[in-house]
Structure 1
Amino acid sequence: MSTNTREQFRPPNHPNEHFILTTVVGSYPKPKWLNRARDLYHGDLDVTAADRASDEPRGGFDVDVDFDERNWQEAKDDASRLITLEHERAGLDAVVDGEMRRNEMVEYFAHRIAGYEFNGPVKVWGHNYFDKPSVVDAVEYDETWLVEEFEFTNEVASRPVKVPITGPYTLANWSFNEHYDDGEALAYALAELVNLEVEKLVEAGARYVQIDEPALATTPDDHAIVGECLELIADGIPDDVRLGLHVCYGDYSRIYPEILDYPIHEFDVELCNGDYEQIDVFSEHEFTKDLALGVVDAHVAEVEPVSRIKENVKRGFEVVPPERLTVSPDCGLKLLPRKVAYGKMENMVTATREVEAELDAGEIEIGEAVSKAD
């Protein structure tokens, strides 16, 4: 997996000789009107007779008692278009639609995989509930999961589109297994399905696919299972398709350097939230993948200043040279106020372009990573 896949994402009018790829992990705050549209479609809004009779919009949303599938699809299309263009306005090199059509990263896919069923939400912590699915039969690829989402976003976007997809290990680990001998067997079966979906995405034109495996952060001893799943996913995928792996915050020393054997181009890590305490983990062995580094904190509702983000970007040069660095938020931004999420992206892009210009001018010492790469 040494193929250079990143130059295809350099904008044709890029202002600097150096190029550090900017993107987002995936999720983004949904417009409030989309949540109201969802509730209206599912019949969750408490619409009274007086509301129906009134000419005034209810809560800023015009009540339509016949809000059907066509209306709901149009609302999702509008939100996807809005957020894709918002990502472009912020200046990102590779954009996502913010996962506007997805409700939750396991539930969304489980509804589309034969063999899953739902029996109601389970309590996960405090007052939070998760509609945890059960695997009750052999999992099968019944319909495409993300191809229509990608095709719509790709038509809207003028920049390359990245496709985040929940990985098979997390799909297995965060489900009840009532059919397979163990979770490992279920993960491998799901990996075969993810491979089919990635093939369909590639046929549709996708060139940047990110596998999300947040469950690995809590069960790092299973890194070999994740590696086997990735081998199954990557089988037959063209070399020019960029494959990334995102793993949320955890003890990375328990999966490094083993992840260097994964058939991926890019490893996406969440280090900003931990003030880069673990960055030395990736210097103990030569980092042979591209590094996707979180440079703004997805868990803090403040927009970091450009000066601070620039210092965070430079931390990446302790591990890889600039031509192998991608920068993004630490994780998905969906829980933040939308204004804050946009500010983080905008400042992140500004900081990255300034770092590139300083690299062009020879003003930045990039240190040991360059000699390792040479």
Structure 2
Amino acid sequence: MSDAVDVRERFRPTDHPHEHFLLTTVVGSYPKPTWLNRARDLHEADDESFDDDDWTEALDDACRIVTHEHERAGLDVVVDGEMRREEMVEFFARRIDGYEFNGPVKVWGHNYFDKPSVASPVAYDEPWLLDEYEFAAGVADRPVKVPITGPYTLASWSFNEVYDTDADLAYDLADLVNREVTKLVEAGARYIQIDEPALATTPDDHAIVGECLDRIVADLPDDVRVGLHVCYGDYSRIYPEINDYPIDEFDVELANGDYEQIDVFTEPDFEPDLALGVVDAHTADVESVEQIKRNIREGLKVVPPEKLTVSPDCGLKLLPREIASGKTENMVRAAREIEADLDSGEIDAAAISERARRE
């Protein structure tokens, strides 16, 4: 991709008060309003008093509410909270030709997953996210990021009944993701996040993910920021290989592991921007601003401030809404206070980085 700092600068607010700029965003999902779940029940029950138009209006309202909530919290880049999505694989599989569903499968305990099957070669028909992005961009005053489930995860978390290998399926899916991203970019999107949680469970396949990313970013304009989010796992098994990925930002989930793996990224030098999880998406405790500031300083061990993005560990959709809101607000406050401390000299980012490399 293009120079990461230059790509990042387009997201700096024009009235930003500090010399140092920590980009703040969220990973993607956010708790749905309770009334939206009730509206879904009515729609799925084919209640004559709640038709498709009513359902569309409910989704639009939810997206508008969450987008504005993110803006009020002060995020530099917002997401609509994925209000139109339920499950990260199923949503896309229902929009890709070649997939079909044959009922839920048991994954653990009493939990079931509507795991799709690839019954014929995958193909691209209509856009998957274009309407979603255009609506969010239309109601937002700040840049909108678009999270997309990556081809490796779409392949790994499906039944493959057609392709010789899951890698072959992933490569074809990557070509489809490229077509979707191209349409999003033509519509104005400049921040794309590829979600590959499956890589955390099968890190030896990092080369397959890299090939998929090469296909996804092919022919994209230089001003498009591409991030890769990988959920908690053994990052030492994919680092430093990720330095060769064609991405501007690598998003890691480290808060819920107390940053035990942060040193993985200190040697050799970390090449892309680091998007660091600084609040735990798996606990219902709202971290204090002071705690989050300590977490942000962990990221300064790896990259300078101009290459650090501050975000939650992962999507916040499983938390109570007031908890998700509190985490987001405190996260932004902590980032702004860290910026002020950097400008005043109270924090010496270079010294933090050097000390981490000596230890």
TM bracket, shorter-chain basis:
over 0.9
| 1:103 and 2:86 are equivalent in the alignment | yes
Whether the 8 Å contact between 2:175 and 2:215 is mirrored in structure 1 is yes
Partners in 1 of 2:7 and 2:41 — Cα distance?
41
Give the match for residue 85 of structure 1: 68
| 1:122 and 2:100 are equivalent in the alignment | no
300 and 189 in structure 1: CA distance in 2 versus 1, 3 angstrom threshold: same
Partners in 2 of 1:348 and 1:364 — Cα distance?
18
Partners in 2 of 1:145 and 1:272 — Cα distance?
32
Give the match for residue 268 of structure 1: 251
Whether the 8 Å contact between 1:321 and 1:370 is mirrored in structure 2 is no
Measured after TM superposition, the shift of residue 87 of structure 1 is 0.3
Counterpart of 2:317 (choices 334, 342, 347) is 334
Partners in 1 of 2:50 and 2:10 — Cα distance?
42
Counting only pairs closer than 5 Å after superposition, residues 285-364 of structure 1 correspond to structure 2 as 285-364=268-347
Is the partner of 1:245 in helix, strand or coil?
strand
Q: Deviations over 1:63-102 (max 9, x none)?
A: x642111111110000000000000011000000000000
Whether the 8 Å contact between 1:170 and 1:214 is mirrored in structure 2 is yes
Q: Deviations over 1:248-285 (max 9, x none)?
A: 00000000000000000000000000000000000121
Is the partner of 1:190 in helix, strand or coil?
helix
Letter matched to residue 246 of structure 1: H
| 1:73 and 2:56 are equivalent in the alignment | yes
Measured after TM superposition, the shift of residue 368 of structure 1 is 5.8
Q: Deviations over 1:304-360 (max 9, x none)?
A: 000000010111110000000000000000000000000000000000000000101
Give the match for residue 34 of structure 1: 36
Give the match for residue 13 of structure 1: 15
Whether the 8 Å contact between 1:310 and 1:351 is mirrored in structure 2 is yes
**Structure 2: gaps of 5 or more residues:** none
Is the partner of 1:309 in helix, strand or coil?
helix
Measured after TM superposition, the shift of residue 2 of structure 1 is 4.6
Measured after TM superposition, the shift of residue 369 of structure 1 is 3.9
Partners in 2 of 1:369 and 1:145 — Cα distance?
41
Give the match for residue 56 of structure 1: none
Whether the 8 Å contact between 1:320 and 1:369 is mirrored in structure 2 is yes
- How many residues were matched structurally? 353
Please, what is the CA RMSD of the aligned residues?
1.3
Give the match for residue 60 of structure 1: none
| 1:215 and 2:198 are equivalent in the alignment | yes
Whether the 8 Å contact between 2:152 and 2:209 is mirrored in structure 1 is yes
Percent identity of paired positions between Structure 1 and Structure 2: 73
Whether the 8 Å contact between 2:197 and 2:231 is mirrored in structure 1 is yes
Whether the 8 Å contact between 2:59 and 2:83 is mirrored in structure 1 is yes
Partners in 2 of 1:223 and 1:359 — Cα distance?
35
**Structure 1: gaps of 5 or more residues:** 45-63
Measured after TM superposition, the shift of residue 216 of structure 1 is 0.2
Letter matched to residue 178 of structure 2: N
